[in-house]
């Protein structure tokens, strides 16, 4: 039998499942490389979502139904109301287990889809290895030949599946009485169109978690952290989140200087007009991560791994706390706070 411990040996059944699906092992190797490099496609139907995208997972065989949580359990239902839409919307995060993807609830921040006793549940994040593995899935080409399928990292061959409109992980040989044993039905049940909800293209402000009256803004084409006192300040501190120009992550376009993006240059954050060079696109692209301070969000440079968007002496840089920037406090706790920002919608600002 397969045990819940990740170190347990695979059963003959699960080994057979791997051999039966030759794509799985090779696919996982390729996808791990893709995830490590951050090369995710934009969040549209039939494609993977960028890390940080808000997505919905629509069944390929019940095209009016979406994966959602209700009473902390995973279900597949129509989306008829605003509440349904929120329950069916998830932020795609880098896999908590260090590979693949994890799905964080939009309306229950810090709660992730995970499997437990083969059922899909919505549980608050824990730091245990078991939780992280239960909440991590490998994003693969849909077994039905369309959409995407999501394989459990600690139960190889078991995929996110709907059966009787409830959500499980299943390999079609586990004996779940709720599931149709037909191989073609299995392949359809584990395939989902990824519908990007484009939290990108929203206008936001980034408020410092350790200077809560100050926001990231541009002034004289340089990045600063200042209070927002006037309408002009508010415009300078407002950015449209765009799909990352480098093909992954997120980029920040100025609201009052359309076509100008925040980018780093010589480790300083500047507002420069968009260019088509690879260097510009990478300089202007950041990976949206859980805030290093334990709250908010942190934004890691795609071409300087380990360097995050940071304020030091109320100026904006990318920094890794070891670069030797004289403006920055070398304390590790200060660093984590300096690189963490609350994301505020435009309507929430003064």
Q: Which of 22-36, 143-157, 283-297 has the lowest mean pLDDT?
A: 22-36
Contact call for residues 192 and 59 (beta carbons, < 8 A): yes
pLDDT at 48: 60
pLDDT, one tens digit per residue, over 56-115 is: 999 999 999 999 999 999 999 999 898 998 999 998 888 999 999 999 998 888 899 999
Q: Are 88 and 76 in contact (CB under 8 A)?
A: no
Q: What is the pLDDT of residue 338?
A: 98
Quote the CA–CA distance of 229 and 107 in Å, as a whole number: 30
Q: Which residues pair with 203 in a beta bridge?
A: 240
pLDDT at 8 over 90: no
Of 2.80.10.50, 2.40.10.120, 1.10.10.10, 3.40.50.150, the CATH number of 12-196 is 2.80.10.50
Average pLDDT, the chain: 85
The DSSP letter of residue 212 is: T
pLDDT of residue 346: 55
Give me the pLDDT at residue 35, please.
36
pLDDT at position 315, please?
98
Per residue in 47-68, pLDDT (tens digit) is 566 677 788 999 999 999 999 9
Tokens representing residue 311 in the block: 């304020």
Report the candidate in 150, 162, 167, 192 with the shortest Cα–Cα distance to residue 58: 192
Q: How confident is the model at residue 3 (pLDDT cuts 50, 70, 90)?
A: very low
The mean pLDDT value for 214-230 works out to 97
Residue 306 has pLDDT above 70, yes or no: yes
Instruction: State the pLDDT confidence band at 127, using cuts at 50, 70 and 90.
Output: very high
Phi, psi of 137 (to 5 degrees): -135, 145
Collapsed DSSP state (helix, strand, coil) of residue 202: coil
Q: Strands (DSSP E) along 291-337, which ranges?
A: 297-301, 308-312, 315-319
Distance CA 12, CA 317 (A): 53
pLDDT of residue 337: 97
How does pLDDT run across 157-166, given as a tens digit for each residue?
Answer: 999 999 999 9
Which pLDDT score is estimated for 49? 61
Residue 328 pLDDT > 70, yes or no?
A: yes
Pick the CATH number of 203-348 from 2.40.160.50, 3.40.1350.10, 1.10.760.10, 2.80.10.50: 2.80.10.50
Q: What is the mean pLDDT of residues 178-182?
A: 97
Q: Tokens for 217, please give them.
A: 């803004």
What are the boundaries of each domain within the chain?
12-196, 203-348
Pairwise CA distance, residues 37 & 41, whole Å: 12
């Amino acid at each position: 039998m397969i045990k819940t411990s990740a170190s347990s040996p695979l059963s003959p059944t699960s080994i057979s499942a791997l051999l039966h699906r030759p794509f799985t092992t090779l696919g996982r190797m390729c996808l791990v490389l893709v995830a490590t490099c951050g090369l995710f496609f934009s969040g549209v139907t039939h494609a993977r979502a960028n890390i940080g995208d808000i997505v919905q997972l629509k069944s390929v065989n019940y095209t009016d139904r979406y994966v959602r949580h209700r009473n902390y359990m995973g279900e597949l239902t129509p989306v008829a109301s605003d509440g349904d839409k929120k329950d069916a919307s998830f932020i795609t995060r880098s896999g908590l287990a260090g590979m693949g993807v994890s799905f964080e609830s939009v309306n229950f921040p810090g709660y992730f889809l995970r499997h437990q006793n083969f059922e899909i549940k919505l549980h608050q994040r824990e730091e245990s290895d078991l939780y992280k593995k239960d909440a991590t899935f490998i994003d693969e080409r849909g077994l039905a030949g369309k959409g995407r399928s999501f394989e459990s990292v600690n139960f190889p061959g078991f995929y996110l599946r709907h059966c009787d409109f409830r959500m499980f992980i299943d390999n079609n040989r586990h004996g779940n009485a709720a599931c149709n044993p037909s191989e073609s039905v299995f392949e359809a049940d584990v395939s989902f169109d990824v519908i990007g909800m484009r939290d990108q293209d929203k206008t936001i402000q980034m408020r410092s978690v350790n200077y809560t009256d100050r926001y990231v803004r541009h002034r004289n084409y340089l990045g600063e952290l200042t209070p927002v006192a006037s309408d002009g300040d508010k415009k300078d501190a407002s950015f449209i989140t765009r799909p990352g120009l480098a093909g992954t992550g997120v980029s920040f376009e100025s609201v009052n200087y359309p076509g100008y993006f925040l980018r780093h240059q010589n480790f300083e954050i500047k507002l420069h007009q968009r260019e088509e060079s690879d260097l510009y696109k990478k300089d202007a692209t950041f990976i949206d991560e859980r805030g290093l301070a334990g709250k908010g969000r942190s934004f890691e440079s795609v071409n300087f791994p380990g360097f995050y968007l940071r304020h030091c002496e109320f100026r904006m840089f990318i920094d890794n706390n070891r670069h030797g920037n004289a403006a920055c406090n070398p304390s590790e706790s200060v660093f984590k706070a300096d690189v963490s920002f609350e994301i505020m919608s435009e309507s929430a600002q003064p």
